[in-house]
Amino acid sequence: MSLRMFRRTPSVRGGSAIDGRTTRHDGYQLSQRKRKRIEEVFGWVKTIGMLRKTRHRGLEAVAWLFTFTATAYNLVRMRNLIFPAVQSA
């Protein structure tokens, strides 16, 4: 079974593995923009939120740390949306 049979687009980066039948659609471009935003969140969580290698053990502690880190990310994002950075000359 192929993904085309289910009308789904594979998520392959770089473009070399995907032909023009997939990349020519607007949905593919939209999917790539959404994917970039999601990857930015996980990148922030791993680097700034220090979740690349957790310091806690146990599901409850790690779940709490993830929730705390996601909340911090949302607060930073809200600040950036409300007060956009001023470009200096």
Which structure tokens are listed for 23? 């990349």
Q: What's the CA gap between 68 and 74, in Å, rounded?
A: 10
Residue 3 is given by DSSP the state G
Q: What's the CA gap between 83 and 75, in Å, rounded?
A: 12
Q: Cα-atom radius of gyration of the chain, to the nearest Å?
A: 18
3-state secondary structure of 23: helix
Determine the pLDDT at residue 34: 94
- Dump pLDDT digits (tens) for 41-79: 999 999 999 899 999 999 999 999 999 999 999 999 999
